[in-house]
Chains A and B, each alone.
Chain A
Amino acid sequence: MKRIYVNEEWCLGCHLCEYNCAFANSGARDMATALKGKPIQPRIHIEEAPQISYAVSCRHCKDPLCVKSCISGALHLEDGVVCIDHGRCVGCLTCVLVCPYGAVLPGPDGAAMKCELCLHNAVGAPACAAGCPNRAIVYEERGEAI
């Protein structure tokens, strides 16, 4: 399946992916309304140190520990994509406790929040990859782990 992949050597550390993600998942029609003057709530994050930067978001693991650990049934698989039913999540955050990549986050309302590849929002495909100026983030097939 298509996943988000990160080419670390091409990341500029510009953080555009975070803004595009927050906007795509805001439900707002324009970026200013969605983001201006507000703390942004992206599901992708840039980690950086001198000379290093790269983006981290859900890996959509083949055998996701978060789904197995979810007590409410909110986290589930849809054709290989790890999705979250926001209304079912009770905010226990066991998913945050088990995700090896730190890619599931506590959201602003207490429920867990994660990348769903923009498949459930109006954008329809990952906004982070589409807006990455240097193709450091790509959305493509790379074959499955053995």
Chain B
Amino acid sequence: MKQYVIVGAGAAAAACIEGIRSVDRTGKITVISEEERPFCCRPLISYYLEGKTDLEHMHLHSPAFTREAGCTVCTGRRAAHLDAAAKTVRLDSGETLPYDALCVAAGASPQTPDYPGLEGVHGVFHFNALCDALALEKAVTKSTRVLILGGGLIGLKCAESLQARAGSLTICIRSGQLLRSILDADGSEMLRAHMEKQGIQFILGDTPARFEGNAAVMGGGQRVEFDALVVASGNRPNTELVSAAGGAVGRGILVDTRMATSLPDVYAAGDCAEGWTLTGQTRRVLAIWPNAVQQGYCAGVNMAGGEKNFDRAIPMNSIGLFGLHVMSAGSYTDLVYEAHTDAASKKLFARDGVLTGFILIGDVQRAGIYTALIREKTPLASIDFEAVKREPSLLPFGRAYRAQKLGGAV
């Protein structure tokens, strides 16, 4: 009987179990979870604070699922050392687990920049795991002034989730641009205006030079007093286990399209992995949910002796903030279409005859039709692209395509 070990208990790990079980019904699967609550769905933590979900519904895989799937879950344990030659993982408890195939789905960890005086701040939080949300839930009241450092997905969703609970919310963004990895300057501006209407304050293009107790002194001299500080300055892939064992890492753990690392029988998936993207020219860490699920499943199938490749990875995000939805995908090459109203904005990007990216704000209906054009590298000359630019629908794809997709099983 084969023995599988999965390091981590997030989206990639959950999908890895399903991938293994699609090939091997009986092998022994052991999951190593640092968190006491394994398979907690981390992107839900902001919705938890808003009351849109609760602890009972935040689990990807229930204990019953893991039992039925024949998994042993070691909670509160960390994988401390990987011996790729002996094919063993040693836990921080000292226990050693042998494996036939290993998947490292260890995620990423929040980074804290080295601010002078930070050690003297009372009430420093991150916003990555359930424990962070539970800590903020306790700490933040109507009299709490919250300062958030970072205007990425995590910082902005944190602000949204705390708005009804906090006294005031200020977001400090060094680059000056909201969702810098997703939006361009125009989109960032539209989102900022929307969030300011909800009472969120912004400090743009500045960063704390130092902290004096619970006050941030900005580079520009402004002094911001706060009661709670949320550091949302980006995450770093957890690569140490593999790099210490001699495996190849870049920003993340380097994997091929089968999710295999440079170490024999060691796979990696999710936010810790750096895999090939759709263009086939670069490897990137794409720390997004659909990527984690597809990589994890792919790794699982290959670990169990099946054959699967995942080479369709594209960056994409769907984020709602105070009722305004932002969707984006791909890369922003040559702008080929834009349309703007007070409430909505659309930009499409193309190069070499294929759609490469888009940014939609406000009106996001049927965005997946654009995403599919990118993913499938559909030649734009083969469809009525002028019509699809204006409105995503299946009309511009022609009768034959529709007969296949709407008249057959897909």
Contact = CB atoms under 8 A, between A and B. Distances in A.
Interface stretch (A12-20, A63-71, A121-129): A63-71
Contacts of A5: 406-408
A71 B369 contact: no
A118 B324 CA distance: 30
A71 B57 CA distance: 11
Contact of B368 (A8, A71, A100): A100
Interface residues of B, number: 47
A94 B289 CA distance: 9
B320 A144 contact: no
A92 B47 CA distance: 10
B43 A145 contact: no
Contacts of B329: 97
Interface stretch (B103-111, B191-199, B349-357, B387-395): B387-395
A135 interface: no
Nearest to A64: B410
Given A68-B294, A92-B320, A93-B325, A102 B366 contact: yes
Contacts of B372: 100
A143 B320 CA distance: 38
Nearest to B290: A69
A49 B406 CA distance: 17
A8 B406 CA distance: 9
Interface in A62-87: 62, 65, 68-69, 71-73, 87
- Chain A residues touching B, range: 35 or more
Interface stretch (B85-93, B204-212, B223-231, B397-405): B397-405
Nearest to B392: A102
B60 interface: yes
Contact of A73 (B41, B52, B371): B41
A142 interface: yes
Interface in A81-109: 87-88, 90-102, 104-106
Contact of B290 (A7, A87, A94, A104): A94
Given A59-B405, A145-B410, A94 B57 contact: no
B364 interface: yes
B41 A105 contact: no
Given A93-B320, A100-B371, A7 B407 contact: yes
Contact of A100 (B41, B293, B369): B369
B44 A72 contact: yes
12 contacts: A6-B406, A7-B407, A59-B405, A68-B294, A72-B53, A95-B368, A96-B366, A100-B375, A100-B376, A100-B405, A102-B392, A105-B365
Interface of B: 15, 41, 43-44, 47, 52-53, 57, 59-60, 289-290, 293-294, 297, 316-320, 323, 325, 327, 329, 364-369, 371-372, 375-376, 392-395, 399, 402-403, 405-410
Which are the 4 A-B pairs with shortest beta-carbon distances?
A102-B366, A100-B372, A99-B368, A69-B290
